[in-house]
Amino acid sequence: MSTPHPLSVWAQNVSPSPTLAIDAKAKALMAAGEDVCSFAAGEPDFDTPEFIKDAAIAALKSGKTKYAATPGIEPLRVAVAARYATEYGYKIAPSQVVVSPGGKFSCYLGILAVCNPGDEAIIPAPYWVSYPEMVKLAGAVPKFVLCDDKAGFKLTPAQLEAAITPKTRLLILCSPSNPSGAIYTRAELAAIAEICVRHNLYVLSDEMYEHLIYDGHQPVNFAMLGAEVEKRTITVAGFSKTYSMTGWRLGTLVAPAPIAKACAELQSQMSSNATTFAQYGALAALTEKAKAVAALTEMKTAFDRRRKYLHAELNKIPGVSCLLAGGAFYLFPNISSFGLKDVEFCAKLLEREKVAAVPGSAFGAEGYLRLSYATSDEIIAKGVVRLARFCAGLKK
């Protein structure tokens, strides 16, 4: 009898998501009766609006329970195209839209569609945890560029130029950013876009948090920065964050026709269509605009209040400094003055004070914490007091 072969390089090399792992650990402690303050969540603490649920229930009851067209039900692709036209003046055909089982899968399809084995993909750090793993699963090579708090966590044109090699095929951008909450201005994106066009790079523009922006910032659609930019841009967005539909698993990808077609074909072999009746819920989110705006406004008002509060409280803690991020639902304070690795900092924080936070190194930026304020005002208030006490203990 021979021993079974080792698992594939794909299976051996993939790292499990650290954010999901910490969230799971915090939830397990809570289930065991511990009073945990978790800042680890990557999802809104609001339920999906009722009108969206009702639309999906109606679809389910009326028999929308079969396979659907791989790239999405036609009315949803039409509605996604219409919303890009209305929100950004980005005019696309419904055939350029691919609806996938989650924005995560949309990102993966986009990467698979344009990266060959050995190609390089530039990923500004801090980055969303899945990008490097997806690039590696495509056989390509992630090239990280550290963008620290002094740079507002944003890639500069000079950094991008310096990172480009003849093998660079793709730049992955995320604005508003998970984990830093940073938002690029239109001028900053235009400068990056000009370089991408000049070096003929594709751009995966992850706009998952486009509607969660504060302080009067306006969302920018990267593809709309010029005709040459549009030809090279894959836009990912979805329903998870804007409509609090994380468990529904619905994401969207918009790209030039040949890329969208390739993504649909890849999806046809990897997952088939996103859940059919769930897509009818998403359709309601896009077409019942007044209800959608009301739900989003309520959520954003709460996030904005918490963001300002948490930011002010963090900056009162000696040794902690935190930028006021303009988007998403995360703050990314710098804790490097404590002289502890961030992984150790987070482990001790959970152990001593029952506060869950994700270390910056999980996102490629050592010396920071990612704190999600997609949790109640009470937990934020209690958690920040504990964090302050923990930090004071470290300073002694």
Ligand X SMILES: Cc1ncc(COP(=O)(O)O)c(C=O)c1O
Total residues at interface with ligand X (CB under 6 A): 14
Contacting residue, 205, 233, 244, 246, with ligand X by CB under 6 A: 246
Residue closer to ligand X by CB (options 128, 222) is 128
> How many alpha carbons fall within 13 Å on the CB side of residue 169?
18
Taking CB under 6 A as the rule, does residue 238 contact ligand X?
A: yes
> What angle do helix axes 289-316 and 377-395 make, rounded to 10 degrees?
20
d(CA 167, CA 287): 43
Taking CB under 6 A as the rule, does residue 168 contact ligand X?
A: no
CB of 392 to ligand X, least distance (A): 32
Which of 108, 56, 54 lies closest to 269 in space, CA to CA? 108
CB of 111 to ligand X, least distance (A): 12
Taking CB under 6 A as the rule, does residue 208 contact ligand X?
A: yes
d(CA 355, CA 296): 28
Taking CB under 6 A as the rule, does residue 174 contact ligand X?
A: yes
Only segment of 8-16, 47-55, 98-106, 308-316 that touches ligand X (CB under 6 A): 98-106
334 beta partners: 321, 368
Judge contact between 41 and 63, C-beta under 8 A.
no
Contacting residue, 44, 71, 102, 126, with ligand X by CB under 6 A: 102
Only segment of 25-33, 99-107, 272-280, 334-342 that touches ligand X (CB under 6 A): 99-107
Contacting residue, 23, 120, 149, 206, with ligand X by CB under 6 A: 206
* CA distance to 49, 289, 302, per residue, from 52 (Å): 6, 11, 20
- Fill in the DSSP letter of residue 56: H
CB of 348 to ligand X, least distance (A): 26
* CA distance to 81, 216, 256, 347, per residue, from 223 (Å): 13, 21, 10, 41
- Fill in the DSSP letter of residue 368: B
d(CA 315, CA 140): 40
Residue closer to ligand X by CB (options 303, 390) is 303
Contacting residue, 22, 52, 104, 223, with ligand X by CB under 6 A: 104
The interface mask with ligand X, positions 58-97, x = CB under 6 A, is ----------------------------------------
Residue closer to ligand X by CB (options 44, 333) is 44
Residue closer to ligand X by CB (options 240, 375) is 240
Contact positions with ligand X (CB under 6 A) in 26-65: 42
369 torsion bin: left (phi>0), alpha (psi -120 to 50), beta (else): beta
The interface mask with ligand X, positions 106-125, x = CB under 6 A, is -x------------------
CB neighbourhood size of 91 (10 A): 12
Only segment of 101-109, 146-154, 155-163, 342-350 that touches ligand X (CB under 6 A): 101-109
CB of 239 to ligand X, least distance (A): 7
Taking CB under 6 A as the rule, does residue 325 contact ligand X?
A: no
- Fill in the DSSP letter of residue 363: G
List strand residue ranges (DSSP E) for 175-270, in order: 202-206, 233-238, 251-254
CB of 100 to ligand X, least distance (A): 8
Taking CB under 6 A as the rule, does residue 103 contact ligand X?
A: yes
Helix and strand numbers, DSSP H then E, in the chain: 14, 12
Taking CB under 6 A as the rule, does residue 252 contact ligand X?
A: no
Residue closer to ligand X by CB (options 134, 317) is 134
- Give the pairing of strands 120-125 and 97-100: unpaired
Binding site for ligand X (CB under 6 A): 42, 102-104, 107, 128, 174, 178, 206, 208, 238, 240, 246, 251
